[in-house]
Structure 1
Amino acid sequence: MTNSHGHGGEHGYGTAGGYGAVPPQNPYGQAPYEQNPYAQPVPPQPYPGRPVPPQPYAGRPVPPQPYAAAPEPYAAQPPAAAPQFAAPPHSQPQQPQPHSQPQPGAFPGFPGPLPRRSRLAVLLQFLLQWIYAPLWIVGLVILFAVLILSDYNGGGPSSDGWLKVNRTFIPPRRLRAELTGRPEDWERYVTPIIRRRIAAAEAKHAAGGGEVQADLGREVSVGLADRLYRGLGAAGVVRIGERHGWHGVLPSGPNTVHIRLVRRFPAPAGLNAPSPHDPPAAPGTPWGPQPTRSALLLPFVFLLQIVYVPVYGLATFWNDRPEPDHWERWGARWTVGPRAFRAEFTDSPAAWDRHIRRILQRDTKRELARTADSYARLTTPDGTYFRRIQLHRATYRGAGAHRALSIAAEDGWTLDPAYTPDPANSLRLCRREQR
């Protein structure tokens, strides 16, 4: 057989291997190409000498191709006919989406942007709010004064939304987003709000807040009303929250247009605390007795708190502090309760013990009044759940946190493993129960 690589038949027409001749056997064996494991079985090549049907798109006969393959290595094909250079379908590069718009389907189930409000209605509300908002506040003050003077004991409305005039107020920063309706303007407006609320929620967790889960971790959440992200959509809010490690919860119930971001923190790795049966802690240490106030100053504190406690309450009514027990921490320093007055005034260990037992008895009775069904979501598969109470610093100031822990252990209370111990401010106790 003549070798097609010879100089005489390299490009000859009508010769062996040229156009118009009978196609020869494959000179490279039965498997000229590496077999594709995912391709269908290829039928064998036709026998030599069998006539080849004409190709409808060319003026010369060619052997039938069982599958799309590259042309013969020595055939002079036009450049446009080379299939190996043809771009496969759907290989065109897609244009990048704007950063402010979420990818379709990235957060399935979360509503998209809400219908845009009329520009005229937005402008009228923005102009008129400077008139009706002050009148609304004055009306609320007058209403509260009338209710207090008339000794009103009736039930209030089911929702206090009508008390918060800020829900109908359009700040100037949101006016641009309302007028343009562009998602990037809405994202520029709502992003600082989400950051502030996330920072406050994480500070709340650091101060002992959050909802305890069945695995002893704690979950904190922030919610946003639809007026804050109307043109961005809930999916855009979730996308912003995921940048900070938070994830969204699908809206359900009546608040289908409100979005909630949550983050779950694991339980503390270990509790650095003494055992209830350890020797008493030294005075001045975090677990030991704390200095009490002077017996001469205490009566003045007891009387003056009647004046400054209501003022403090009014001053902080609209302020959402990150510490969930800030009032208890503040009250332990600047107020004294009627029950703790005798114990702190005498600074007697027996008086402090009686005070601690009295508070423990009260809180235990209140906690045991809850049914086991109320812990259904926090019950483990084996039917175990935890009852929880909290003792504040004012309860055990002169006796010490370790003494309060020892007294609580008599009734089966131990330190709650879901919280990092903070004896300088409060003791969080738990008791295991079985359904």
Structure 2
Amino acid sequence: MVNGQGHGGTDGYGAPPPQNPYGQAPYAQNPYGQSPYAQNPYAQPVPPPQQSYPPQQPYPPQQPYPPRQPQPVPPQQAHPSPQQPYAAAGFGTPPQPGVGRPGGFPGPAPRRNRVAVLVQFLLQWIYAPLWVLGLVLLFIVLIFADYSGGGPSSDGWLKVNRSFIPPRRLRAELTGRPEHWERYVAPILARRIAAAEATHAAGGGEVQADLGRVVRTRLALRLYRGLGAAGVVRLAEQHGWHGVASGTDAGHVRLARHFPAPATPNAPSPQDPPAAPGTPWGPQPVRFAPLLPFVFLLQIVYVPVYGLLTFWVNRPEPDHWDRWGARWTVGPRAFRAEFTNSPAAWDRHIRRILQRDTKRTGASSDGTRTPDGTLVHRIRLNRATYRGAGAHQALRIAAEQGWTLDPAYTPDPANSLRLCRPDRP
């Protein structure tokens, strides 16, 4: 009878394996450590039971399957990977779906009066257009009046959108059922999360001490009244986000997500040979020199128009204006460098911009602190600063002043160059 040892050490009937996987002698004792049998039951047949258990002792003293005592897990080994990014970002332990949270998120808010909701829904088709028209007229008056004050934000000017009830929300307001509110909130939340993640992909977010970045978003109470902040957090956890305590702001639910630091950037060192022209890190083609004066004059007209068109539009890219300006505008400082396309002129222009940004960051206390408490300043050079010299040349000049590539961002030399420097004397 084949004992099974001829097939790579597989177990057979009647012969022990060549190596005990439990690190003990073959069947010297039960590998589970709890067995009424002293020997291997396969090597020595088990005698048939001939006596019953005595009634006064229904269970033998040595139980074949004693209850297993749970082993305590050290705190430092309990869920190490999920907690690290949250702890580094200052959020504590990541929330678990469906589990009560410390200082938990509030549930559904009180329902509004259905008659008031119907009246508002009917009247909004009259006052909403008049409201928007009044805002447009006010904006035109401020332009011609040469108004230079700060003024309210665009969101404050367009408060009409806060009092407008779309037809999709009307049913949820009237019924008050959580499932109707969830169907209304879910697509809105998905769009907000997608926009926030697009902001992170374009370089947005708050840099943390672990070089990761945190992006945030929030929803107003009118969007989730019948679902509650706890329901919104539950939906957000399905996208990898978590809730953040709103503090005294009971009219919003705040959400955040921590993105880890990018991998080691694939970028040249300042000591490497200069990058070849046309490559991402090398010099880029400059624009036709005779057209630059016309571009310089025309931008006085179309730049304000562009600003008016995008006044109420939230771009997902935080540096969209710099990226757009680097392609369609020319600044007075970069005009001479781009017009002559001289390496010396480009180097002088890069040094001027670095000197300006260094003074700005040195005069402010904004920045991220390392675990040892060192303040780190960050700047960004857009493409217009180093177009004709190349991102590698700008990196070489910045290294002379102590600036290095920021490890919290993926290098994007075709659009901008992000640098960092510790604030040390």
In structure 2, the partner of 1:278 is 272
- Structure 1 residue identity aligned to 2:389: A
Match of 2:59 among 33, 38, 43: 33
In structure 2, the partner of 1:208 is 203
Counterpart-to-counterpart distance in 1, 2:237 and 2:155 = 31
Range 283-292 or range 295-304, more displaced? 295-304
Whether the 8 Å CA contact 2:196–2:216 is kept in 1: the answer is yes
Whether the 8 Å CA contact 1:383–1:434 is kept in 2: the answer is no
Q: Does 1:422 align with 2:412?
A: yes
In structure 2, the partner of 1:366 is 360
Whether the 8 Å CA contact 1:284–1:290 is kept in 2: the answer is yes
In structure 2, the partner of 1:407 is 397
CA separation of 1:428 and 1:210: change in aligned 2, threshold 3 A? same
Whether the 8 Å CA contact 2:274–2:282 is kept in 1: the answer is yes
Q: Equivalent residue of 2:409, what SS?
A: coil
Match of 1:341 among 335, 344, 357: 335
Counterpart-to-counterpart distance in 2, 1:111 and 1:183 = 14
Whether the 8 Å CA contact 1:107–1:235 is kept in 2: the answer is no
- How far does the alpha carbon of each residue in 1:302-346 deviate from its partner, in whole angstroms, 9 at most, with x for none? 122222222222222222221111111111111111111111111
In structure 2, the partner of 1:89 is none
In structure 1, the partner of 2:132 is 137
Whether the 8 Å CA contact 2:370–2:376 is kept in 1: the answer is no
Q: How far 1:143 sits from its partner (Å)?
A: 2.0
For 1:186-265, list aligned pairs within 5 A: 186-253=181-248, 255-265=249-259
CA separation of 1:309 and 1:263: change in aligned 2, threshold 3 A? same
Q: How far 1:379 sits from its partner (Å)?
A: 2.2
Gap runs ≥5 in structure 1: 1-25, 39-101
- Structure 2 residue identity aligned to 1:401: A
When normalised by structure 1's length, the TM-score is: 0.74
Match of 1:389 among 379, 386, 411: 379
Q: Equivalent residue of 2:170, what SS?
A: helix
Q: Does 1:171 align with 2:166?
A: yes
Q: How far 1:389 sits from its partner (Å)?
A: 0.4
Q: How far 1:217 sits from its partner (Å)?
A: 0.1
CA separation of 1:342 and 1:174: change in aligned 2, threshold 3 A? same
Range 422-431 or range 356-365, more displaced? 356-365
Whether the 8 Å CA contact 2:154–2:312 is kept in 1: the answer is no
- Structure 1 residue identity aligned to 2:147: Y
For 1:154-169, list aligned pairs within 5 A: 154=149, 156=151, 161-169=156-164
Counterpart-to-counterpart distance in 2, 1:27 and 1:402 = 85
Q: Equivalent residue of 1:296, what SS?
A: helix
Q: How far 1:219 sits from its partner (Å)?
A: 0.7
Q: Equivalent residue of 2:290, what SS?
A: coil
CA separation of 1:355 and 1:380: change in aligned 2, threshold 3 A? closer
Match of 1:112 among 107, 112, 117: 107
User: How many residue pairs were aligned?
Assistant: 342
Whether the 8 Å CA contact 1:389–1:429 is kept in 2: the answer is yes
Q: Equivalent residue of 1:205, what SS?
A: helix
Counterpart-to-counterpart distance in 2, 1:322 and 1:157 = 22
CA separation of 1:142 and 1:27: change in aligned 2, threshold 3 A? closer
Q: Equivalent residue of 1:152, what SS?
A: coil
- Structure 2 residue identity aligned to 1:417: P
Whether the 8 Å CA contact 2:375–2:422 is kept in 1: the answer is yes
- How far does the alpha carbon of each residue in 1:220-270 deviate from its partner, in whole angstroms, 9 at most, with x for none? 1111010100000000000000111111112112x1231111111111120
When normalised by structure 2's length, the TM-score is: 0.76
Gap runs ≥5 in structure 2: 1-51, 68-96
Counterpart-to-counterpart distance in 1, 2:101 and 2:60 = 40
Whether the 8 Å CA contact 2:286–2:338 is kept in 1: the answer is yes
Whether the 8 Å CA contact 1:111–1:257 is kept in 2: the answer is no
Counterpart-to-counterpart distance in 1, 2:98 and 2:204 = 34
Q: Equivalent residue of 1:357, what SS?
A: helix
Whether the 8 Å CA contact 2:346–2:388 is kept in 1: the answer is yes
CA separation of 1:228 and 1:199: change in aligned 2, threshold 3 A? same
Q: Equivalent residue of 2:423, what SS?
A: strand
- Structure 2 residue identity aligned to 1:156: G
- Structure 2 residue identity aligned to 1:321: R
Counterpart-to-counterpart distance in 2, 1:140 and 1:331 = 29
Counterpart-to-counterpart distance in 1, 2:301 and 2:254 = 39
Counterpart-to-counterpart distance in 1, 2:327 and 2:338 = 12
CA separation of 1:369 and 1:231: change in aligned 2, threshold 3 A? same
CA separation of 1:408 and 1:104: change in aligned 2, threshold 3 A? closer
Query: Is the radius of gyration larger for structure 1 or structure 2?
Result: 1
Q: How far 1:158 sits from its partner (Å)?
A: 8.8
